[in-house]
Amino acid sequence: MKTFKIPAFYESSLISKVKQKRKSEDPRKMDFSPSVLDFGAVEIVLARHFGFCYGVENAIEIAYKALYENPGKRILLLSQMIHNPDVNKDLEDNGIGFIQDTYGKQLMSWDDITADDVLIIPAFGTTIELEALLKKKGIPTEKYNTTCPFVEKVWNRSEKLGKENNTVIIHGKPSHEETRATFSHSSSGAKSIVIKDMNEAILLASFIKGEREFDEFDSYFKGRYSSDFNPNADLNKVGVVNQTTMLASETQAIADYFKTVMENTFGNDDISSHFTSTRDTLCYATNDNQQATFGLLKESADLAIVVGGYNSSNTSHLVELCEEKVPTFFVKNASEIKSAAAIHHYDWRAEEMRLTENWIPKVNIPRIIITSGASCPDAVLEKVLRRLLEFFPQSKTVLKIEEGLT
């Protein structure tokens, strides 16, 4: 796989050594068991896969290339490059401006943006409508377009589904940049609708099965389906695609559910006329990170810390998985770990910060799981690890552990 040039301050000597050791032992990535770092007074259990993925490294490399190639010019990002506050702040500190926030709210007026500006498309991609606006203003977007190829793969799959007369059901978070971009591209060639979870899949299926009147449809899905969508006619053949960072197991369960619904509604003899199987729209890194989290949770542990941006979809799903097994704390960086007695962490369900006291169990040698999302720099995760070690003064040093990895 291609390697990218990213700033050294995003890297971690310790994490690099751990990842290189695992790669040499398991080059085909068949082993999802974690790495256990024994610091003596505490054990750190690291996921097999975590941190920057292909698409994120590609985006960061292109952003820094834009800075290097355009001294003196104003460089603008359409929205957040990725969902990580440390990375986005670093880009801002280097002079890159943001046109919109993560929810599409304007931070700069389009009237103030001209063809003299250098524009970067973020890793999530963007909508066809915004592409047209930029083209109209004479702003080129091809050179510094960081759209992840796995996002584009979903767009291509949606286009193919549309050509086969499917309505595309997008499993994603409606307000997420990637979902908005995917919906725009999908809608250009296919009837499309966004659902966020299995509950909404069941709700949508109730219209297919005739359990609800079609005049109720808008009250449930307003703003989330393509123009001229006719639920009476456009739900006779469907295919499911994934916002690339959703839980793979949930997307597959939703697809399997719709297949069963179509079989029960239209019969099994000609299922291909009513359902198209799609198993290839999940990002490889999302899949690896989720599988590695399942591997993590086979180990005994006293708590888990998941590091990443609070608006990161793939990170929140890692938190969701960990919460099923152990007390889990979602932190953006080491600054949230206030002391051995208090931790500031994000409750992704309630969408609010919480303060938990006495969060480290009083056991002889605590075992602490650490992992991170695909947009989190390894350096940020290492700072979290080092912050934890401050609470265990009898621990081995990071340097001592690094020596054991070489």
Q: How far apart are CA 213 and CA 360, in angstroms?
A: 52
Q: Is 285 helix (H, G, I), strand (E, B) or coil?
A: helix
Cα–Cα distance list, 31 to 27, 187, 272, 293 (Å): 9, 39, 36, 12
Residues 6+ positions from 85 with CB-CB distance below 8 Å = 309, 332, 333
What was the pLDDT predicted at 280?
64
What was the pLDDT predicted at 1?
57
What was the pLDDT predicted at 406?
80
Radius of gyration of the chain (CA): 23
Domain 8-53+284-405's class? Answer: alpha beta
Query: Average pLDDT of each block of 10 consecutive residues along the chain (406 residues)?
Result: 82 96 93 96 96 91 94 93 90 93 90 94 93 93 92 93 95 91 95 96 95 92 94 93 84 93 91 86 79 93 97 91 96 97 96 97 96 95 97 96 91
Decide if 238 contacts 167 (C-beta within 8 A): yes
What was the pLDDT predicted at 238?
96
Residues 6+ positions from 3 with CB-CB distance below 8 Å = 57
Bridge partners of residue 192, in order along the sequence: 168
Catalytic residue among 43, 131, 177, 178: 178
Helix axes 284-296, 248-266, angle to 10 degrees: 110
Decide if 58 contacts 374 (C-beta within 8 A): no
Write out the E strands in 125-207: 167-171, 192-195
To the query of whether residue 323 is one of the catalytic residues in this protein, the response is: no
Fold (CATH) for 54-136? Rossmann fold (3.40.50)
> Which architecture characterizes domain 149-276 according to CATH?
3-Layer(aba) Sandwich (3.40)
What was the pLDDT predicted at 243?
84
Name the residue ranges covered by the structural domains of the chain: 8-53+284-405, 54-136, 149-276
CA neighbor of 90 nearest in space, from 129, 124, 125, 64: 64
- Whether 54-136 shares its CATH topology with 149-276 is answered no
Decide if 258 contacts 169 (C-beta within 8 A): yes
